[in-house]
Structure 1
Amino acid sequence: MSGGKDKIPVFPSRMALTIMKARLKGAQKGHSLLKKKADALTLRFRLILGKIIETKTLMGEVMKQASLSLAEAKFATGDFNHIVLQNVTKAQTKVRNKRDNVAGVILPIFEHYTDGTDTYELTGLSKGGQQINRLKKNYAKAVELLVELASLQTSFITLDEVIKITNRRVNAIEHVIIPRIENTISHIITELDEQEREEFYRLKKIQGKKKIMRAKAEAEKQKRALEGQDDDVPNLIDDDVDEDLLFES
């Protein structure tokens, strides 16, 4: 227990004990919920990590095929960069943003979609049309994988930060907050037990004093009766007498 004997400064009383027990129950419940959240986030984190590795491996193959297709298209048709630049009007492949909720954590999800028609559909009809079509498909696949990889990488970084924060909170509750509350409860129980022992000892002393005073009163009464002085003897052990007077010398 890293908290040692550290405890919360409270006055030891029954009410404080009740409050501390309620706080302990709340801390244990919060620890359980945060632990479940951390487990759920870690599971999703590992799934995303596996997808990232798989996507990066596939990305390497797709980019290799795209580069090879570009070389083949240039070999078959020559330099066609100026044709592409002249026909550029707007982006055909676009990205939209969605959100996914994992245990209260919002993860951004990027999705690609096609908007508009292919403005290069007649490119390469004279020569190299097959190579250019293959080039378009390969680079379209590469862009699709880039969007997917960006989504996975963003979710990976977000989950990594949230998992670190959640684990710090779990450790703080488990090793600091709960031990402090338990130490406080133990301290309050010890103090209350000590107070009960002192009260029991005080009551015993009072009872002993009352017995002595009662015996003295009876002896005095008997003495007066024998001497013919059966007067009223004051009740020295009346219940209304202040108990503090019993300890006066």
Structure 2
Amino acid sequence: MVLQDVKPTRSELIQLKRRIKLSESGHKLLKMKRDGLILEFFKILNEARNVRTELDAAYDIAVDKISLACAVNGVVAVKSTAFTTKENPEIELSGHNIMGVFVPKISSTGVRKPLYERGYGIIGTNAYIDETADAYEDLVEKIITAAELETTMKRLLDEIEKTKRRVNALEFKVIPELIETMKFIRFALEEVERESTFRLKRVKARTKT
């Protein structure tokens, strides 16, 4: 705010006091929101770390299972069994609100199937195929959970950064400038009052003489 453009009037001073009070109130609320979002972020971060560890383990198990199935049954047989799947899993995307931030909620159906719904016949396959299917179903579920958590973390982190910028702008720029302007207006009004008092005294002194 350029001080030269400010009108040093009492009405301007009153409006400025209101703006300072409003800015300080907004600053307090934004700090509370920022701190709340940070707490939520770290709660989800811990959960996401656990899921990521589980995901890595599920991936290693799935790779081991399919490698063993291919070694026993042959790559062609394993691929042929995979192509017999008739129904694909369904993913439903919804959302919920965390302190004003819309984050995704991912639910799935048809990922984990009983043996008789997988599409391949029991005859002609063996336990290695079944264990591979189990492992990859588990892996897909872990991927869905990880995707939900990591997307939530990204959105929370973006909102935290936005809120931090607003807090800093109010704390280090807006509020100090408003206070500086208020001081300027008060000083200007005091100067005007002193000049008026001085002129009044001179007038009185002339009147007496």
- The answer to whether TM tops 0.5 is yes
Structure 1 residues 7 and 28 mapped into 2: Cα distance closer, same or farther (>3 Å)? Answer: farther
> 1:17 touches 1:188 (CA, 8 Å); kept in 2?
yes
SS at match of 1:57: helix
Confirm whether residue 22 of structure 1 aligns to residue 18 of structure 2. Answer: yes
Stretch deviating more after TM superposition (107-116 or 171-180): 107-116
| Equivalent residue number for residue 148 of structure 2 | 151
Shift of 1:8: 7.7
| Equivalent residue number for residue 176 of structure 2 | 179
> 1:84 touches 1:120 (CA, 8 Å); kept in 2?
no
Larger radius of gyration: 1
Structure 1 residues 153 and 8 mapped into 2: Cα distance closer, same or farther (>3 Å)? Answer: farther
| Equivalent residue number for residue 58 of structure 2 | 62
Structure 1: how far apart are the matches of 2:182 and 2:61?
A: 68
Structure 2: how far apart are the matches of 1:63 and 1:37?
A: 37
> 1:59 touches 1:142 (CA, 8 Å); kept in 2?
yes
Stretch deviating more after TM superposition (39-48 or 138-147): 39-48
Stretch deviating more after TM superposition (70-79 or 140-149): 70-79
Higher relative contact order (CA 8 A, sep 6+): 2
SS at match of 2:5: coil
2:6 corresponds to which letter in structure 1? V
Q: Deviations over 1:43-81 (max 9, x none)?
A: 122122222221111111111111222123233433231
The RMSD of aligned alpha carbons is 2.2
| Equivalent residue number for residue 132 of structure 2 | 135
| Equivalent residue number for residue 196 of structure 1 | 193
| Equivalent residue number for residue 123 of structure 1 | 121
Structure 1 residues 8 and 183 mapped into 2: Cα distance closer, same or farther (>3 Å)? Answer: farther
Q: Which has the larger helix fraction?
A: 2
| Equivalent residue number for residue 203 of structure 2 | 206
Query: TM-score, normalization: structure 1?
Result: 0.75
Structure 1: how far apart are the matches of 2:62 and 2:14?
A: 70
User: Which aligned pairs between 1:82-93 and structure 2 lie closer than 5 A?
Assistant: 82-85=80-83, 87-91=84-88, 93=89
> 1:24 touches 1:178 (CA, 8 Å); kept in 2?
yes
2:137 corresponds to which letter in structure 1? A
Gaps of 5+ in 2: none
Please list every run of at least 4 consecutive aligned residues from structure 1 whose deviation after the TM superposition is greater than 6 angstroms. Answer: none
Structure 2: how far apart are the matches of 1:176 and 1:9?
A: 18
Shift of 1:7: 4.5
SS at match of 2:7: coil
| Equivalent residue number for residue 104 of structure 1 | 100
Q: Deviations over 1:176-224 (max 9, x none)?
A: 0000100011011111111111111111111111111xxxxxxxxxxxx
